[in-house]
Amino acid sequence: MKFVDYVTITVKSGKGGPGSSSFRREKYVPRGGPDGGDGGAGGSVILVGNKQLYTLLDLRYNRHHFADNGQAGSSAMKSGKDGEDIVLSVPVGTVARNTDSGSVIGEILEEGQKLVLAAGGKGGKGNTHFKSATRQAPTYHQPGLPGEEINVTLELKLLADVGLVGLPNAGKSTFVASVSAAKPKIADYPFTTLEPSLGVVSIGEYESFVVADIPGIIEGAHEGKGLGDRFLKHIERNAILLVLIPVTSEDIGAEYRILRNELSSFSNLLSNKHHVVAISKMDLIQRDEQDEWLKDARSQLPDDIRVFGISSVARTGLKQLTSYLWDAVKVQREAEY
């Protein structure tokens, strides 16, 4: 299924039904009082979070959503029927914005969470509400209130615990495939990953965390170069960032600085996130030379950054790295609660 993380839709809530102007009429009650019922409320357009979804694809091909109007009230104080709501299921992590003003309407962060995009108009009151001691037979009744029409931009930001950051062909997809059941496309050429993907890393029998693999970043990505900054937003919500740099890099320190600069240029939030570095593809180095090579790699990186050497193919160093990531994720989760 095609991954769609950005779509604009038009939503319109229903208008409220008018109240009724009616009087009780029975054989032996020639002058019955007012008995007009209230109009029904218009239907609303509502978003609801669904963990089974991971794309906004359905909404790309169905961009207009108009809820039903409320029905008019009637005699005998019968209220009109409310208009039916339109409920749109979206992935958890969806942000809704007013397209015209750019303001955030709200975010869907949990399964089953609801967000009203356009509230239905309130139904009008029937003339029975306007009876008084001095006005026994009011004919006035309220019209229903109009609905709302709004253009809404929906933007999906993947919710994951760990976000992978690296230049193209750094080994991110191979890492995800090695530590989870995810099966991203893997090949030995740049930009193999064209769409974000998620993998669940199991720790023990009952605990796990989610890792997000996004397309590779290149220098100037925050300005739209390469695949651009479209996918950087997906790691804004991650608890921790894992920076992958392959042993084949000509300059590990320079590559690290490029990645850090792209993150900080895109968002202060990303620049301040806790991150660790994994030197990938260590299987390309002779086993007896790996320790010395890794020591040299660490010397090119800031002293306060934790550095791991891993090989997703040989499956070495993965347990130590995932254990560290899990500890960092737990700290973040505890801080949130």
Residues 259 and 223 in one domain: yes
Residue matched to tokens 């009744």: 141
- Domain span at 93: 6-156
pLDDT tens digit sequence for 1-22: 455 678 999 999 999 999 999 9
Average pLDDT score over the chain: 84
pLDDT tens digit sequence for 115-165: 999 999 999 999 999 988 888 889 899 999 999 999 999 988 776 788 888
| pLDDT, average across residues 80-102 | 93
Kind of pairing between the strands at 149-156 and 94-98: antiparallel
**Does a structural domain hold residue 1?**
no
- The tally of domains found in the chain comes to 2
Q: Does the pLDDT value for residue 226 go beyond 60?
A: no
Q: How far apart are CA 115 and CA 124, in angstroms?
A: 25
Residues 125 and 206 in one domain: no
Q: How far apart are CA 44 and CA 68, in angstroms?
A: 8
**Does a structural domain hold residue 127?**
yes
Residues 119 and 15 in one domain: yes
Q: How far apart are CA 186 and CA 313, in angstroms?
A: 12
pLDDT tens digit sequence for 256-266: 998 888 888 87
